[in-house]
Structure 1
Amino acid sequence: MRNPDVPALRLEEFTPKEIPGLVKLSASVGWDYDEDEVKTLFSAGKVFGHKDSQGLVCSSAAVIPYGKTLASIGMVIVHRECRGLGLGKELTQACIDAVSGGKAFADDMDVANDPILMLIATPEGRPLYEKMGFAAVDCVHKLLCDVYAAPKESPKDSAASVQPLLPEHVEQVVKLDQRAVGAERKSFLQRRIQQARKGVVLLDADGRVTGYGLAIEGPVNLILGPIVAPDDQGASRIVTELARDCQGRLRIDVPSGHHAFRTFLQSCGFVQVSQPPVMIKNGERLPERNGQLFAIAAQVFG
């Protein structure tokens, strides 16, 4: 892509036919979106972008609504040769407009306030988001692991067990997730579970689901998340099971706090590589959460 024809860079809502171009755009900036990940974006939200006069994808942004109260913006990418043209602002505004005024992709929504918009910012994007009314309210800890070292003694709890996630667990998982995230994410979770290489649940002595975790196979990393658990020990047990027999690189994004859990991860070979801010608009704080979200799904999904 060279010398883009600026007048030809029209913003549009993309369809799944643009998936190959979006994957290529992601790779051009060193991000690791693959076809399955982008399919999940289309199934759960809307994707916007620009194409040049030859039809090549040169920008992208996605917005995913969670119920009536929260929406996540991510995959905001502008090709290096198209930067400085205001495309990032136009993309972000399209995402904002898509869920403003009671839209949130549902014709029958009747809400008094626009949903809280959240995103996890890169250093390059943060100044733009601040100008558009987003404010940093939290952070996540991005950790990578080249070689996973399973704990010599796995965290144990005789009253709980880690089992494969089965269809009969999904409704309980959705409810647990809603309390942990502060918003209902059923449609997203159903697709994410289908996409997962592995899913597990934490069951108490009565067989009730008290936690869950997913492992998503990416082109570079095995992504661990979301992970919801009642405590650090439960989250550690879920990670141990998800990472079992993994021979490649792993990634996990942990919300702020959870110091003991991050210490456990570091003992298994994880290294923190960044601490990007969580930024929001249309509110002063994230929706109320119960402290049981130990890993997010991915930065695009929040």
Structure 2
Amino acid sequence: MSINDKPIVELVQLKERDVSGLIALSSSIKWDYNENEIKTILSSGKIFGHKNVEGKVVSSAAVIPYDSSLASIGMVIVDQRFRGMGLGNEVIKKCIGEVSTDTTIMLIATEEGIPIYKKLGFQSVDSIYKFICTDYTALPKPVNDNEFIIDEFSDEHLTEIITLDEAAFGGNRSRFLMNRIRQSEKCFVAKDKQGNILGYGLSILGPVNLVLGPIVAPNSEIALLLVQQLSAKYQGNLRIDVISGHEQFMRILEKSGFVKQNQPPIMVNSVTMPVRNQTLFAVAAQIFG
């Protein structure tokens, strides 16, 4: 059924019952969202999308509002057969409308999405570097083991992790972090001799890669120690998305077998990014900013 030869679609909020449809949509463009990832998105924010008359999900976009005046948009996908209808523009606008007008919205753009985001008032302010590793080689530890301790996460660490992450990310995202830690394969904290937490790192097991991030650390040496712990004994592919400005960290990743795949821009709907203290080495995932 169509009007003027255009398929009839309806923009709706997507729920947990739509997880399988979202997985199929992401697979159609070779993105590797799985059930656990989508449930974390749903528990941290909202997903909107279009459905056709048969109830099939043919577009999507998610908005993740954080506890401060900051939000992230991602998972922007339109089924190949439904492109050219303005569905991407419509679903992104729906996400933008879910937060207040004084909220800074950030996103990591695909090359195809950049023109749409520019028309909606977004501009590039930074970039990230996507790295994939198919054969990881752990290099000699960059710092003395006696200086720092890498410890497994426990609930008593949560308050300090949230505080560290807020300064690193530029906004408080406590609800998301709690959801992400529950989803994680591993979570480690880095401590000094006095037991003070200096940084943390997570790994998320996906259908294709073990994703390393977020990683927050005071320097590249401790960030690399976290990478080594998160990667230990894992035999499959690794992925890490590194924030620009950490060239030394990236050089050592490359020596360990990581290969840069692309460099997508970070875009925001305001003049500048939120203030960050340069301790965010790797993002959680591109959807989360």
Q: Normalised by the size of structure 1, how large is the TM-score?
A: 0.93
Aligned to 1:120: 108
Measure how far apart 1:160 and its partner are: 1.1
Measure, in 2, the Cα distance between the counterparts of 1:237 and 1:6. Answer: 54
Measure, in 2, the Cα distance between the counterparts of 1:7 and 1:142. Answer: 36
Measure how far apart 1:75 and its partner are: 0.1
Measure, in 2, the Cα distance between the counterparts of 1:188 and 1:73. Answer: 14
Aligned to 1:10: 10
Secondary structure in 2 aligned to 1:263?
helix
Measure, in 2, the Cα distance between the counterparts of 1:249 and 1:178. Answer: 29
Measure how far apart 1:246 and its partner are: 1.0
Aligned to 2:223: 235
Q: Is residue 274 of structure 2 the alignment partner of residue 273 of structure 1?
A: no
Q: Which residue identity lines up with residue 63 of structure 2 in the other structure?
A: V
Aligned to 1:40: 40
What's the CA shift string for 1:247-286, capped at 9, x where partnerless? 00000000111000001100110000100000000x2111
Q: Which residue identity lines up with residue 126 of structure 1 in the other structure?
A: I
Q: Which residue identity lines up with residue 254 of structure 1 in the other structure?
A: V
Q: CA RMSD in A?
A: 1.5
Q: Which residue identity lines up with residue 250 of structure 1 in the other structure?
A: L
Measure, in 1, the Cα distance between the counterparts of 2:286 and 2:237. Answer: 17
Measure, in 2, the Cα distance between the counterparts of 1:196 and 1:27. Answer: 22
Aligned to 1:223: 211
Q: Is residue 150 of structure 2 the alignment partner of residue 162 of structure 1?
A: yes
Measure, in 1, the Cα distance between the counterparts of 2:285 and 2:272. Answer: 20
The answer to which of 225-234 and 92-101 deviates more is: 92-101
Aligned to 2:126: 138
Output aligned runs, 1:60-139, within 5 Å: 60-101=60-101, 114-139=102-127
Aligned to 1:150: 138
Measure, in 1, the Cα distance between the counterparts of 2:69 and 2:248. Answer: 30
Measure, in 2, the Cα distance between the counterparts of 1:43 and 1:236. Answer: 30
Q: Which residue identity lines up with residue 177 of structure 1 in the other structure?
A: D
Q: Which residue identity lines up with residue 244 of structure 2 in the other structure?
A: S
Measure, in 2, the Cα distance between the counterparts of 1:67 and 1:6. Answer: 40
Measure, in 1, the Cα distance between the counterparts of 2:103 and 2:275. Answer: 14
Measure, in 2, the Cα distance between the counterparts of 1:205 and 1:62. Answer: 41
Q: Is residue 243 of structure 2 the alignment partner of residue 255 of structure 1?
A: yes
What's the CA shift string for 1:159-198, capped at 9, x where partnerless? 2111111111111101000000010010000010000000
Aligned to 1:293: 280
8 Å Cα contact 1:148-1:246 kept in structure 2: no
Listed as ranges, the gaps of 5+ residues in structure 1 are 102-113
Q: Normalised by the size of structure 2, how large is the TM-score?
A: 0.97
Q: Percent identity?
A: 48
Listed as ranges, the gaps of 5+ residues in structure 2 are none
Measure, in 2, the Cα distance between the counterparts of 1:100 and 1:183. Answer: 15
8 Å Cα contact 1:177-1:228 kept in structure 2: yes
Query: Number of residue pairs matched?
Result: 287
Measure how far apart 1:30 and its partner are: 0.4
Measure how far apart 1:7 and its partner are: 5.4
Measure, in 1, the Cα distance between the counterparts of 2:11 and 2:149. Answer: 49
Secondary structure in 2 aligned to 1:98?
coil
